[in-house]
Amino acid sequence: MQHEEQILAAIRRSSVSRRLQPLSLPDACRQRARSAERNIPEPDSDTEVGASDDRSPRRFTRIDSDPLDSTGDAVTSQSESSLADSGAETTAQTPPQDSAFPNEKPHHNHVMVALPTLPRYPIAETKNQNCWSEPHASKCFKVRGPNYTIDKKKISSGPYIFPARGADLILTNQFSGPGTDIALRHSVLAGRVRSMPTFIINFCFPWGVLVNYYEIPKLYSSFLEKKENGETIHDELLECLAPHERTIIRFLTGDDEHRQSKLKLIPVCIEGPWVVKQMVAGKPAIIGKRLPVAYKYHPADKSRGIAECFEADLDISASDPVGKKVVKLCRSYMTSVTVDIGVVIEGAEDDELPEQMLGCIRLHKLDALLAPTLPPS
């Protein structure tokens, strides 16, 4: 009798266990757990990678559709719904206390809501994805040497002239506008964009903007102020400066035709699919020869507590066929690509050599599904 009762109890336990088990799915339908992925550190040699924590509540799930495959209103609506489905926050949030700029505070002279900005590498919550860093100039870039006009030799660059402040990936729609004049949008860079003199490189896509921010040192901002006040910048005033300093001052205070012939980008794919690495291999390009660039200077307003900004808006939608192909590839592989966007002002004359990198920002596997939407201006 006792043996029969034990058998019946075992049957009941088995029945309850089967009811509690999830439905069996084919292997192709199962999603791989994020905890099963390898924590591969990003290629930033001098920065210690934060430890990965698989218990972190921030788990980002990709969806099959890509909101960037179309343009216009559909992009924003689909992107926002995808963001909601993936659990990402679409509302503005307060910058974390441990941000890359803990001493900076948003100015409150304007009614605005600060958009979340990309965090600085390393960041364990996203396994070092969807963030930015600043690689070493001398290890990553070769520039024109002091005798380049004669021997065509290049040398390792000196330190960056403009320190990196951060980066933003922001979606746009019919309400927010095209995303140009980003310096006038006080909500970007977590509300700190006008807290110090800033040089902005703004890549304008049909679906949004990718913005890199650099701090303008006092030497160069003082010449921008002279130009704004109508003072003429004579070459005699620049004779005591280093070659790269002369080059940058002539760029900042020159006309647009001069700027179009000087602004040079050096994109390098550090990690990603082979096809992207082959097309984004670090070949310098005078960007003004490939697509329209609009340069704008926004002067400081001390009464309102805002600093000056110098902005370059790059219209990526007007790129040549080769450029469009590269952009399309990068867009398709955005979440698996780590890329350096180096900036240098070309030195063409002997008194402008050797060159020195103006700045660079490394973008680590960006995810547009987690990007905020630019509010109406």
Spatial contact of 287 and 264, defined as CB atoms under 8 Å apart: yes
Strand partners, 268: 281, 340
**Contacts within 8 Å (CB) and 24+ apart, 53-59:** 53/124, 53/125, 56/124, 56/125, 58/125, 58/126, 59/34, 59/87
Inter-residue contact 79 to 71 (CB < 8 Å): no
Question: Is residue 310 classed as helix, strand or coil in its secondary structure?
Answer: strand
Helix (H) or strand (E) holding 197, with range, is none
Higher per-residue confidence, 275 vs 365: 365
Average pLDDT over residues 58-68: 33
3-state secondary structure of 144: strand
**SS3 category, 122:** coil
Q: Tens digit of pLDDT for each residue in 218-248?
A: 999 999 999 999 998 988 889 999 999 999 9
CA end-to-end distance (rounded Å), the chain: 81
Task: Tell me: pLDDT of 201 over 70.
Answer: yes
**Range with lowest mean pLDDT among 4-8, 161-165, 183-187, 262-266:** 4-8
Q: What are phi and psi of 271, to 5 degrees?
A: -145, 135
Residue 109 has pLDDT above 60, yes or no: no
Chain-centroid distance of CA 133 in Å reads 9
User: Hey, which bits of 272-373 come out as E strands?
Assistant: 285-286, 293-298, 309-315, 338-345, 359-364
DSSP string, 9-62: HHHHHHHHHHHHSPPP--GGGPPPPGGGS--PPPS-TTSPPPPP-TT-S-----
Angle between helix 218-228 and 243-253 (nearest 10): 30
What's the Cα-to-Cα distance from 269 to each of 17, 134, 147, 364, 372, rounded to whole Å?
51, 14, 29, 10, 25
CB 120 within 8 A of CB 131: yes
377 touches 174 (CB < 8 A): no
Of the listed ranges 75-84, 146-155, 205-214, 232-241, the least confidently predicted one is 75-84
Residue 344 has pLDDT above 70, yes or no: yes
Q: Is 20's pLDDT higher than 50?
A: no
pLDDT at 53 over 80: no
pLDDT at 290: 85
Tell which phi-psi region holds residue 272, choosing left (phi > 0), alpha (psi between -120 and 50) or beta: left
Which residues are within 8 A (CB) of 315 and not within 5 positions of it... i.e. 6 or more apart? Answer: 204, 291, 292, 293, 294
Tell me the pLDDT tens digit for each residue of 94-104: 344 334 444 44
Q: pTM of the entire structure? A: 0.73
Mean per-residue pLDDT, 191-202: 97
Q: E strand or H helix at 289, and its extent?
A: none
